[in-house]
Chains A and B, each alone.
Chain A
Amino acid sequence: MKDVSFGQYYPAESALHRLDPRIKLLAVILYIVGIFFIRKFAGFALIALFLLVAILVSRVPFFKVLKSVRAVLFLVLFTVIMSVLFYSTKTEEPLWQWRFIKIYEQGLINAARMGLRLIFLVLGPSLLTLTTTPVELTDGLESLLKPLAMIKLPVHELAIIMSIALRLIPTLMEETEKIMNAQKARCASFDTGNIFKRAKALLPILIPLFVSSFRRADELADAMDSRCYRGAKGRTRMKVLKLRFRDFVAAFIMLALFAAILFLRYNWFGWSFLTVLI
C-alpha cells in the first residue's frame, strides 16, 4: 500500500506538463466526448495515434500510463464478454453456435468497440493526472468554475476541500493499514463469519480511524488558521494561471482532432476517402 500515490502525478519537464490545467481539463472533456462519437475503427486508430504522440511528448513512461488500464481490466473483459454473448440479431447468421450461445460477427465488432472505448476513456484522464499536479487540477477547476461563484456556489471552498482530500488520502490509507495491523495483532479476524459478523468486525478499525480523522481535521484546521487562512478573502496565488501561445496551439490541436472524429463519423462533404489515408 506504500506505493499508492493518489493523483499519481509523474514529475517531468514536458510541453504537456507545462500546459495550462484549464486547457488540459477542457481538452480531456473534448476527448471524452469525442470517444463517444467514434464508430469506425479508423477513428480509434486516429485517437490511438493522438494518444501515442501525447504520451511521447509528455515523457511519462508507457507502463505508467498503461497501469491505469489494469484497474479497469476486469470491467473491460466483463463488458466485452457480455456483449459478445448477449448480442443477438435476426439479420445475420451466427459465426459459431453452442447450445443457446450464439456468436455473431457484428457482436464481436460491437464488443471490440466497447472495449476500446472503455480503454481510451481511462487512458486520456490518466494522462491528465500524470502530467498535472492535484493542486494545478483544483486550481484549474476553481478557475473554470469561477463564473458559478456569482450564483453563490462556494467554488473556492470546494476547491480547497478537494485539494485537502487529495492530500489526506495517502495518509489515511497508511493509517488504516496501521490500525488493521494493530487489531490483527490482537487476533482480530476480518474475513470470517456472515456479513453481519464481518461488518461488526470492522468496528475496531473504523472507530479508531474516525477518532483519528477528527483529531487530524482539528489539528489541520488549527494549522491553517495559524497560517493566516481566512477563505477566499484577499487570497492570491503563487501560480497564476495564464494562457500562453502553447495553450492556444494545444486547444487548436484538440479541436482539429475533434473535427476529424466528426468527419469520420458523419462523412460530411463526402470526405470519407480520407479514412483511407489513416
Chain B
Amino acid sequence: MPIKITDLNYVYSKGTPFQKIALSHVNLEIADGEFWGIIGHTGSGKSTLFSHLNALTRIQSGKIEIDEFTLIGNGGKKPKRKHRPDYKALRARVGMVFQYPEYQLFAETVADDVAFGAKNIGIKGEELNSRVKSAIEMVGLCYDDVHARSPFDLSGGQKRRVALAGVLAMHPKILVLDEPTAGLDPRGKREILDLITKIKETLCPTVIMISHNMNEVAEYCDKIAVMAGGELKLVSTPAELFSQTELLQSLHIEMPGVTALSCELNARGLNVSRSVLTEEQLVEEILRAKGAGI
C-alpha cells in the first residue's frame, strides 16, 4: 500500500473572512502499480490534495502514509519533529509534474536542467550522467541532439518532455501529473499519454493523473477518484463510473465522447452497451448490434 490518506482536511486562510474549506475528510488508498485519474472541476480541491502528496502543502489535519514516509497534521502548525520525514527523499519518491511544466525550465543546457532534481538529492558523477541520459531518452528525445542545447530553443512539446525528464531523473516510484496534456495538439496529447504508459511500465509503477479530459481518463486509468467541493465524492473504475448517467449529471461530470455516443445509440434503440470506454469497443459493439439486427 504505497499511499494511504486518512481523514485529510485542509482550510485556506483559516480564521480570516476568506476562510475556505479545500479538503474535508478525505480518505483514499492507492495500491502499487495502479493508474489513477483524479477528476473534478476547478476549485474542487483536487489541486490541494495533489500538492499534499509530496508535502508541498503543509498537512493541517489527518494523516498521509506513503511507503515509509508518514505525514501527520499538527493543526496547521509546523509538524512535530518526529512527524517530519526527509522531505527531499519523499519528493524524490513522489515525482510531481505540474501543469505546463515547461515554464519551470531555467538551466543553460537541457542536460543541466534535467540533472537539477537528481543533483539536489545528492546524485553525482557517472551515476548522475547516466540518469540524465536515460531520462532524456525515456521521454523520447535524442540525448546527443538535445543535451547541449538551451531548453529555451526547443519547441513547446520538447520543452514539456525535458521538464518531465527532470522529474524522472530522480527515479520516482510514484508519478503524479497535473493535466499533462494541457494545451497540446491531438498528436502531442497522444504521444505524451503513450509516453506516460511506457514510463509506468518501466520506471514508475504507480501513476496519478489529474485531468479534465474524460476521454483520456476513460482510456488510460484503472481507477478514478471524483472530487467536488473539497470532498472525495467517490472512487470507481472508469467502466462503472461512466455507465451511471444520473450520477455523472449530479456530479456535473461530462461523459467521454465514446460513452456519450454509445448511450445515445442505446437510447435510440440500437442494442449497444452503455459503458463503452474506447473507440475499438464502440466499433465492436456497433458491429455486434448491427449484425444481430440484420
Contact = CB atoms under 8 A, between A and B. Distances in A.
A186 B120 contact: yes
Interface stretch (A132-140, A204-212, A221-229): A204-212
Contact of A181 (B88, B98, B152): B98
A179 interface: yes
Contact of B167 (A178, A185, A189): A185
Given A181-B56, A203-B106, A204-B116, A186 B167 contact: yes
Contacts of B106: 203-204, 207-208, 211
Nearest to B163: A182
A238 interface: no
B56 A2 contact: no
A2 B120 CA distance: 28
B116 A185 contact: no
A187 B103 contact: no
Contacts, number: 64
Contacts of A183: 104, 116
Interface string A82-115: 0000000000000000000000000000000000
Contact of A211 (B12, B56, B95, B152): B152
Nearest to A175: B103
Interface residues of B, number: 28
A186 B92 CA distance: 7
Contact of B91 (A184, A203, A204): A184
A96 to B, nearest CB: 37
B56 A184 contact: yes
A135 B12 CA distance: 29
A171 B35 CA distance: 33
Contacts of A199: none
- Residue from B95, B117, B120, B170 having most chain A Cβ neighbours under 10 A: B120
A203 B152 CA distance: 15
A183 B170 CA distance: 13
Given A3-B16, A207-B106, A187 B98 contact: no
Nearest to A182: B104
B116 A182 contact: no
B96 interface: yes
Nearest to A3: B18
Contact of A212 (B13, B18, B56, B103): B103
A186 B117 CA distance: 4
A202 to B, nearest CB: 10
A187 B12 contact: no
A185 B120 contact: no
A2 B98 contact: no
A184 B95 CA distance: 11
Contacts of B117: 185-188
Contact of A208 (B12, B104, B166, B170): B104
Contact of B56 (A185, A203, A207): A185
B91 A182 contact: no
Contacts of B95: 185
Nearest to A188: B120
> 10 tightest CB-CB pairs across the interface, nearest first?
A186-B117, A187-B120, A207-B106, A182-B104, A185-B96, A187-B88, A204-B106, A182-B98, A3-B18, A187-B91
Interface of B: 12-13, 16-18, 51, 54, 56, 88, 91-92, 95-96, 98, 101, 103-107, 116-117, 120-121, 152, 166-167, 170
Interface of A: 2-3, 63, 178-179, 181-189, 203-204, 207-208, 211-212
15 contacts: A3-B12, A178-B98, A178-B103, A181-B51, A182-B104, A183-B104, A183-B116, A184-B56, A185-B95, A185-B117, A186-B167, A187-B88, A188-B116, A188-B117, A188-B120
Given A186-B120, A188-B116, A211-B103, 16 more contacts: A181-B51, A181-B98, A182-B103, A183-B104, A184-B56, A184-B91, A185-B56, A185-B98, A186-B116, A186-B170, A187-B88, A187-B91, A189-B88, A208-B104, A208-B106, A211-B152
